[in-house]
């Protein structure tokens, strides 16, 4: 399964990512490109619970991402099941 299919499902959703340097970024995903670069809108950058900065627009380079924390409602089974059906049709 291509990651692009997975990430198209979470566009315009609030997501949290953890960077390799320990910083957490939360915000609305506007776009994700083929290099896993993520464009956020209304982002919140948190280093410690005390150090929080709000940013209108933010770009995160894909190779700096450690984890992507998806929304709780996200259903992996529906994405995997649909992608398997598409492969069988080919």
Q: 41 - beta bridge partners? A: 28, 57
Question: What pTM value is reported for the model?
Answer: 0.76
Dump pLDDT digits (tens) for 41-79.
999 999 887 889 999 999 999 999 999 888 777 776 766
| Strand partners for 65 | 19
Domain boundaries, the chain: 3-89
Reported as a pLDDT band with limits 50, 70 and 90, residue 84 is: low
Structure tokens that stand for 69 in this block: 């924390």
Q: Give the architecture (CATH level 2) of 3-89.
A: Roll (2.30)
Q: pLDDT tens digit string along 2-42? A: 676 777 777 888 899 999 999 999 999 999 988 889 999 99
> Is residue 76 a contact partner of residue 9, using CB atoms and an 8 Å limit?
no
Q: Does residue 86 surpass a pLDDT of 60? A: no
For every residue of 16-81, DSSP letters joined together read EEEETTS-EEEEEEEEE-TT--EEEEEEEEESSSS-EEEEEEEEE-GGGEEEEE--TT--HHHHHH
């Amino acid at each position: 399964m291509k990651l692009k299919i997975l990430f198209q499902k979470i566009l315009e959703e609030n997501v949290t990512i953890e960077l390799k340097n320990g910083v957490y970024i939360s915000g609305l995903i506007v776009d994700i490109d083929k290099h896993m670069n993520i464009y956020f809108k209304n982002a919140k950058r948190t280093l410690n619970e005390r150090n929080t900065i709000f940013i209108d627009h933010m770009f995160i380079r894909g190779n700096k991402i450690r984890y992507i924390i998806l929304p709780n409602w996200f259903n992996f089974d529906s994405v995997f099941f649909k992608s398997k059906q598409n492969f069988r049709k080919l």
